[in-house]
Structure 1
């Protein structure tokens, strides 16, 4: 994607740190998120440990940039649950594709029993590896293998095999926050490669932007403009109605497709938290056929 650590990856880490700081009504606990932050972001996350400060900060973010924070919170919990379910069904390895500052390898129950492969752009991964070394004891990261790869220019399979990835093993793949920054050929090639690399019944969990946002038919408000100004504009999206057929042509069956607003209704509203997550940002799960 780029030759520097992703700014949006750090912002998602901030949202996860703010959620963790909420305490009793948080929907997940990500104690490493704050360690991935720098400068002002880290100061904000630490200040948010004082509950009134954290609540005011979240409200300010939501007024200034409606949608991204609750969407990140809801999708994080949904993907957590989907990964745990896949491990319960017998997945023997986990691939975090475009891992960013994802800390699932260290915080999800039972995940240390399987091999976890983190594949990401070398620039973002170099920053993360340094931070993880300072925050996670060696015995808690022995099951994690790092795989530096640029999906725009390199073959995913070659990079994974060099790191010891098991071909045709039951696998759960998480591809979060990535497809909307790639080209259509890169997304197509990656999906086909994943289908050829993993066993029948493996799970692919991924996020995407509704194609109508890129076509101008749906207004994404300040969210799309903010990522564009940061040099990380959205370049790809799926049409939700066409997604089942698209995946079927690539050897996959669509098992789940929810907007982050749907996920917020599932996880936030039962806690009395009515937060406006985005309807155009979605989480899907596909089964390898």
Structure 2
């Protein structure tokens, strides 16, 4: 990979647009716009005018079928809530695995926060985060496709005996089956009993064409054109057994459409989200 991830910047754009909403936003990510190129920063600046914001959101949701924008913001809110609950429940370490332009380490307070990511994307992010904030995070440059996760985290000070919550958002669908397997096994070995992993994935039926999901081809074509095609997915029915074989217990598995019913519907927001894009929670068994 040369330069930062295009998909990471798009998710940052969606988070910045959500932050610029007035009155009914799902979260406040004040750093999201700093992650963007000048062109996208200009879009976010214009979106602070409500009629312009509505036009931008409609344009994105119409042009990119399948609901990538709203799916990104509802999964962000759901994962935020899951991480806060884990920290309140005793997790003392937060690991953002494949962090991209995720700013959770700055808006959710955890005693120790690690950001693990591809060196190219991480270098871009470190240039864009204010130095005083960056100093609070332990950055761990790792290419999950080829590098071992455990030794890299241990070298950065991760304590395997201390409760931790790991967020692996927007990553598995870009990896190989072997890389996903190796990473989950490494996490299961690293985490103390009760440690939690929150991760996203694409339903395998969306990749092989058997699912009949709305908008999946358009969304997949868009990421393919951006040079980051989807390469991996789980079948939800098989996920509990898959995780159990790796020392993990599935706690929750919902789609971004389910998350939209939880977070958008009460606000009267009817926005397209994906049934095939999912958020799962698994606990380490020790």
Question: What interval of TM-score do these two structures reach, taking the shorter chain for normalisation?
Answer: over 0.9
Return the alpha-carbon distance in structure 1 between the equivalents of residues 197 and 20 of structure 2: 30
Write the distance in 2 (CA, Å) between the matches of 1:105 and 1:79: 12
Aligned equivalents of 1:236 and 1:71: distance in 2?
18
Residues 133-148 of structure 1 correspond to what in structure 2 (within 5 A)? Answer: 133=130, 138=132, 140-148=133-141
Matched residues in 2 for 1:250 and 1:163: separation? 24
Question: Where do 1:87-236 residues align within 5 Å?
Answer: 87-108=87-108, 110-111=109-110, 114-133=111-130, 138=132, 140-218=133-211, 219=213, 220-236=216-232
- Post-superposition Cα deviations, 1:154-187, rounded to whole Å, max 9, x if no partner, equal 1001111111111232100000000000000100
Residue 86 of structure 1 corresponds to 86
Counterpart in 2 of 1:258? 254
Please give the alpha-carbon distance, in whole angstroms, between the structure 2 residues aligned to 1:267 and 1:119.
Answer: 28
CA distance in 2, matches of 1:236, 1:91: 29
Deviation, structure 1 residue 52:
1.0
* Cα deviation code 1:7-30 (max 9, x no counterpart): 000000000010001121101111
Shift of 1:130: 0.7
CA contact (8 A) 2:126 2:134 kept: no
Structure 2 segments unaligned to the other structure (5+ residues): none
Is 2:54 aligned against 1:55? yes
C-alpha distance after superposition, 1:175-210 (max 9, x if no partner): 000000000010000000001111000110000000
Q: What's the TM-score, normalizing by structure 2?
A: 0.96
Are 1:23 and 2:16 counterparts?
no
- The equivalent residue for 1:33 is 32
In structure 2, C-alpha distance between the alignment counterparts of 1:261 and 1:213, rounded to whole Å: 15
**SS of equivalent to 1:95:** strand
2:42 corresponds in structure 1 to 43
Partner of 1:241, secondary structure, is helix
In the alignment, the residues of structure 2 paired with residue 224 and residue 202 of structure 1 have an alpha-carbon distance, to the nearest angstrom, of 32
Contact kept? 2:98, 2:118, Cα under 8 Å: yes
1:243 aligns with 2:239: yes
For 2:155 and 2:241, the matched residues in 1 are separated by 32
- Alignment partner of 1:283 out of 252, 276, 279: 279
1-side partners of 2:2 and 2:40: how far apart?
A: 21
Residues 60 and 69, structure 2, Cα contact 8 Å, conserved in 1 = yes
The SS at the match of 1:221 is: helix
Q: Which runs of 4+ in 1 moved over 4 A?
A: none
What displacement does 1:141 show? 4.1
Partner Cα separation in structure 2 for residue 168 and residue 56 of structure 1: 50
CA distance in 2, matches of 1:221, 1:188: 26
